Amino acid sequence: MKKLNALAALVASTALAAPMAMAQDMADSLTLVSWGGAYQKSQKLAYADPYLADHPGLTVTWDESSAEAVAKLRAMNEAGNITWDLVDVVAADAIRLCDEGLAMEIDPDDDLLPGDDGTSAEDDFGDLLVSDCFIPQIVYSTTFGYRTDMVGDTPPTEVCAVFDMDTYPGKRALEKRPINNMEWALYCDGVAKDEIYDVLATEEGQEQALAKLDTIKDDVIWWSAGADTPQLLADGEVVMGSTYNGRLFSVIEEQDQPVGMLWDMQVFDLDGWIIPTGLDDDHLARVQDFVKFATDTQRLADQAKYISYGPARASSAPLVGTHAELGIEMAPHMPTDPENSKNTLLYNYEFWADYRDDIDAKFQSWLAK
Amino acid sequence: MSDATQEQTGPMVAADGTPLKKSLARSLRMQKMRALALIAPLLIFVLLTFLAPIFDMLFRSVENQIVSDTLPETVVVLADWDGSGTEAPGEDVFRALYFDLFLAAEAKEHTKLGTRLNYEQVGISSLFRTSGRRLDDVGEVWQDWLEDIDDQWGEGAFWFEMMSGGPADGDVLSSARTRLATLTGDSMRGDIGFEPSEAISTLLPRTAREYTAWAVFTAIEDEDVVAEEDPWEAVYAALAVDLATPGKADDIAAYSGPGAAQLQAVAAQLDSLPPVDIKGAFADIDEDWLAIDNWAAIQVYSPKYTSGYFLNAVDMQLGPDGAEARPENQQIYLMLFRRTLVMSLAITFSCIALGYPVAWLLANLPARKANLMMILVLLPFWTSLLVRTSAWKVMLQQQGVINDVLVWLGIVADDARLVMINNQFGTIVAMTHILLPFMILPLYSVMQTIPPSYLRAAKSLGATNWTAFWRVYFPQSVPGIGAGSILVFILAIGYYITPELVGGTTGTFISNRIAYHISSSLNWGLAAALGTILLGVVLLLYWVYDRIVGIDNVKLGG
């Protein structure tokens, strides 16, 4: 660091001085990476703002790069210049980053606070600690929404309505990747829920899923951004479509569109923090302090005031209250609500970590035909 | 007289006495150097920031060192295995794998290799990840056995004393450093406070190798003191492997260095040594370790450089018997390359068709009107690409503006609205709109230089309007078409945001797959191979263009 200082003094008269000088007071700054939009706003209101109130000298910078976090972190790591302190990623990406050695391993009981009810962090998060590097924040689900005015008198109650072109004619929106679609296709082709991944691991199973998807292929609009389906639903372009439950919540409750939720066979997934490897000590200390605060029982429960995603701690669930602006009870809009989670599927991380590239190749080849 | 002649035929001499030729060459060289020094900053800048990263990225398309760096011993032993047979490799390969993988797991490098090999063979990723966690259990059998014989075997201090002492074996230490440096990418230099003794490395070669690797790792990566730490399980496994070597008991009896008594006590109980069956241990961890396909993938991808990525990029794959076609249900890239080229050409031609009249108007209207039109051309140019693409979505979708108007006019029935987006048509329309300025601007600047008097002269000589245009005006505007076409075509070939948003399934480009491999699958090798091919195709087309049209005929301006 002394060398750096000397160097900074040397080049003080040049434009290089600015980044150099900034490098010294980094401990007073925190760069958080998230998804932007309503989700990032909920994190800012629930975690960052209260933390800032306690730590006035701190500056928090948000970077909306979570969608390409894996590639960017790898590039930063290769360049030897990590500029992010804490990164919000989905669990599958956390596993990938952990495998690549780009995310730091954490010890839940050391790095996270115990629950308000006294349970240790490890038990409080429970099964949601799907990777050694992953600090869960929320449970979200990918599920279907439908146009209430385009389904006649019999609104769909189960996911296989997506494949039922006779009862529900019209376009559907599905994500342009195999994950989730293959599972739904097999499920609606008569495969028992607990056998889906065994079947999908076989060549025949993959063919079977694609054959089922073939029956609706001509009527599918494939989306790649989370905002696509809500917009397609609002425009009446599709009769039903899959997306994240929080997006549907905002279409239904905040924008008052004639859209209904189809919770059947929603696929649970997780989103949370990872700490990049290679942070310097003062930075790491700041991040660890922030993470402890931001993932405590109350903060996770607070986030549900702003967005309809379920808190990852078991101890947070009873504290979920009403929406900050709409004033409606949030619990019934949580994917984890007993009423909504009668029939669900948990994203199989291990399976997709292995099969993602292989099945994706087949899926894209099928799509292009 | 003869003196004077001699002077004339001899070399011409400059004022300072050096031959003129030499002096001239020197001053020319000086000038060249000065010129080079002047452009040096820019040259170095371009080389460092532009060319070097590109070549680094392209290099990844053949680079495959991760396999031999992570499993150095395994790939050597595995080379003798018959990959096309039906037998999984033998115990020797599994032993090499155990020690390689153990070290890699401690350095947290094994999952990287798992990810890399998973691109070629499904399932290796989780195989490596779960096995890495359970490798500790393998060595514990022998650790427990040794500690049952004598508690000292569980003590780091005893191990340290046994392994050091006496003349040192520098080779073992330096090869351990190299092994770890290759694995982790760190330099691994520096004092570690330990040197393996020659006597012990002759007696127990495997143990010395693994203990030294552990010592280097402990001292440099963990920054602990070697003498105070207990060795990891792989060292116990290594000792078991050494002990199981036939005739080892006699060697131990003859040994008199540090730890001789303890070693001899162990040698006396060799009958009760738990069997050294590392292959069986791996099979217990996961029976996929016995799968031929997994081993074939490791063997095929053992070399430091591979053609595998390039083969993948053209819908082939590297099998045990060399290159072979991919299963038909996985073929996609050749089709995407073809589609990208055909659609880029279509976009280029529609840009010419739409841009030419606009450029002509721009060049021939009075200045006031031309300026206004120029602003209209430039305005969308300054608008965000995403905004323009999204606007086309609103226009073209089935419940969109155009369909609504057509239905209202009664041209199209309400239940048979046209599908104009999420297909090739949508992509061509949106991209033509986005790339149009790149065609109009070079065309305009070339057309401005064509004197209107030529057309008038042609007409006064009896040409019809068409002949005057086609024979006189058009040939002079060809350089503009050339420049515009190259710009539009090369930009179109690399587009991915617009095709991603409006292309649906039939309108996506090869760049969409490149983007996927860069940002989602992290298969940068394949992305680099696809990119290299794309670059090659563009250069090839450029060369063809140069041969047919001539690159001198391209003008970006007057």
Contact B504 A221 (CB under 8 A): yes
| Of A67, A57, A1, A78, the residue nearest A33 (C-alpha) | A67
| Of B107, B124, B111, B177, the residue nearest B299 (C-alpha) | B124
3-state secondary structure B120-158: CCCCHHHHHHHHHHHHHHHHHHHHHHHHHHCHHHHCHHH
Contact B522 A100 (CB under 8 A): yes
Contact B523 A360 (CB under 8 A): no
Contact B111 A98 (CB under 8 A): yes
Q: What pLDDT score does A293 carry? A: 94
Contact residues for B282 (Cβ-Cβ < 8 A; gap 6+)? B94, B97, B98, B131, B289, B290
Q: CB of A284 within 8 A of CB of A275?
A: yes
- Determine if residue B144 is left, alpha or beta; phi over 0 gives left, psi from -120 to 50 gives alpha, anything else beta: alpha
CATH of A2-133+275-330, one of 3.20.20.80, 3.40.50.720, 3.40.50.620, 3.40.190.10: 3.40.190.10
Tell me which of A89, A172, A365, A366 to substitute to probe the interface with B (most B C-beta atoms closer than 10 Å): A365
> In chain A, which segments carry CATH 3.40.190.10?
2-133+275-330, 142-269+338-368
Which chain A residue's Cα is nearest to B519? Answer: A71
Minimal C-alpha gap between A354 and chain B (Å): 5
DSSP structure string for A121-190: HHHHHGGG--STT-EEEEEEEEEEEEETTSSTTS---SGGGGG-TTTS-S-EEEESSSTTHHHHHHHHTT
Minimal C-alpha gap between B541 and chain A (Å): 25
Phi, psi angles (nearest 5°) of residue B440: -65, -45
Contact B397 A236 (CB under 8 A): no
Which chain A residue's Cα is nearest to B518? Answer: A71
Map residue B199 onto helix, strand or coil: helix
Report helix angle B524-548 to B510-519, nearest 10: 150
Chain B positions in Cβ-Cβ contact with residue A364 (cut-off 8 Å): 332, 513
Q: CB of A175 within 8 A of CB of A224?
A: yes
Q: What pLDDT score does A17 carry? A: 39
Write out the two tokens for B458: 């042609």
Chain B positions in Cβ-Cβ contact with residue A171 (cut-off 8 Å): 398
Tell me which of A197, A355, A357 to substitute to probe the interface with B (most B C-beta atoms closer than 10 Å): A357
Calculated CA dihedral for residues B227, B229, B235, B236, nearest 10 degrees = 110
Tell me which of B118, B339, B390, B424 to substitute to probe the interface with A (most A C-beta atoms closer than 10 Å): B118
Phi, psi angles (nearest 5°) of residue B121: -140, 115
CA of residue A360 relative to chain centroid, distance? 20
Q: What pLDDT score does B558 carry? A: 52
| Of A135, A157, A132, A131, the residue nearest A146 (C-alpha) | A157
Q: Is domain A142-269+338-368 in CATH 3.40.190.10, yes or no?
A: yes
Write out the two tokens for B450: 């064509």
| Of B182, B178, B180, the residue nearest B170 (C-alpha) | B178
Contact A222 B111 (CB under 8 A): no
Map residue B425 onto helix, strand or coil: helix
B112 touches chain A (CB under 8 A): yes
| Of B525, B511, B449, the residue nearest B480 (C-alpha) | B449
Q: Does the interface ipTM go beyond 0.90?
A: no
For A257-302, the pLDDT digits (tens) are 999 999 999 999 999 999 999 898 899 999 999 999 999 999 999 9
State in Å, rounded, how far the first CA of chain B is from the last one: 63
Phi, psi angles (nearest 5°) of residue A255: -105, -5
How far apart CA A358 and CA B317 sit, in angstroms, is 13
Contact A357 B521 (CB under 8 A): yes
Q: What pLDDT score does B9 carry? A: 61
Which chain A residue's Cα is nearest to B509? Answer: A368
- CA distance to B42, B87, B371, B441, per residue, from B368 (Å): 40, 83, 5, 17
For B151-199, the pLDDT digits (tens) are 999 999 999 999 987 888 889 999 999 999 999 988 888 889 899 999 9
Contact residues for A27 (Cβ-Cβ < 8 A; gap 6+)? A282, A283, A285, A286
How far apart CA B300 and CA B318 sit, in angstroms, is 7
What domains sit in chain B, N to C, each tagged with a CATH number? 2-59 (no CATH), 72-300 (no CATH), 334-553 (1.10.3720.10)
Does the pLDDT value for residue B85 go beyond 90?
no
Write out the two tokens for B363: 């060049």
Q: CB of B143 within 8 A of CB of B154?
A: yes
**Residue A117 DSSP label:** T
- CA distance to A119, A124, A131, A135, A273, per residue, from A109 (Å): 10, 10, 14, 11, 16
Minimal C-alpha gap between A57 and chain B (Å): 34
Map residue B27 onto helix, strand or coil: helix
Write out the two tokens for B289: 């370790």
Tell me which of B49, B60, B111, B392 to substitute to probe the interface with A (most A C-beta atoms closer than 10 Å): B111
Contact A357 B329 (CB under 8 A): no
Nearest by CB: B523 against A235, A350, A357? A357
Contact A99 B111 (CB under 8 A): yes
Q: What pLDDT score does B432 carry? A: 95
How far apart CA A356 and CA B122 sit, in angstroms, is 9
DSSP structure string for B156-173: HHHHHHHHSSSSB-HHHH
Chain B positions in Cβ-Cβ contact with residue A207 (cut-off 8 Å): 329
Contact A364 B513 (CB under 8 A): yes
The H-or-E segment that residue B347 falls in is helix B333-364
pLDDT string in tens for chain A (369-residue length): 444 444 444 444 344 334 433 334 446 999 999 998 889 999 999 999 999 999 988 999 999 999 889 999 999 998 889 999 999 999 999 998 998 899 999 999 999 999 999 999 999 999 999 999 999 999 999 999 999 999 989 999 999 999 999 999 999 999 999 999 999 999 999 999 999 999 999 999 999 999 999 999 999 999 988 888 999 999 999 999 999 999 999 999 989 999 999 999 999 999 999 999 989 889 999 999 999 999 999 999 999 999 999 999 999 988 998 998 889 999 899 998 889 999 999 889 989 988 998 999 899 999 988
Chain A positions in Cβ-Cβ contact with residue B335 (cut-off 8 Å): 368
Tell me which of A99, A130, A150, A174 to substitute to probe the interface with B (most B C-beta atoms closer than 10 Å): A99
Chain A positions in Cβ-Cβ contact with residue B331 (cut-off 8 Å): 365
As to burial, measured by CB atoms within 10 angstroms (0-12 exposed, 13-18 middle, 19+ buried), residue B288 is: middle
- Determine if residue A190 is left, alpha or beta; phi over 0 gives left, psi from -120 to 50 gives alpha, anything else beta: left
Map residue B469 onto helix, strand or coil: helix
Q: What pLDDT score does A4 carry? A: 46
Contact A354 B118 (CB under 8 A): yes
| Of A222, A179, A184, the residue nearest A367 (C-alpha) | A222
- CA distance to A311, A337, B9, B359, B506, per residue, from A340 (Å): 15, 5, 106, 60, 36
B422 touches chain A (CB under 8 A): yes
Q: CB of A4 within 8 A of CB of A20?
A: yes
Handedness of CA B410, B415, B421, B424 (dihedral sign): negative
Minimal C-alpha gap between B69 and chain A (Å): 15
**Token pair 């063919």 in the structure block, residue:** A207
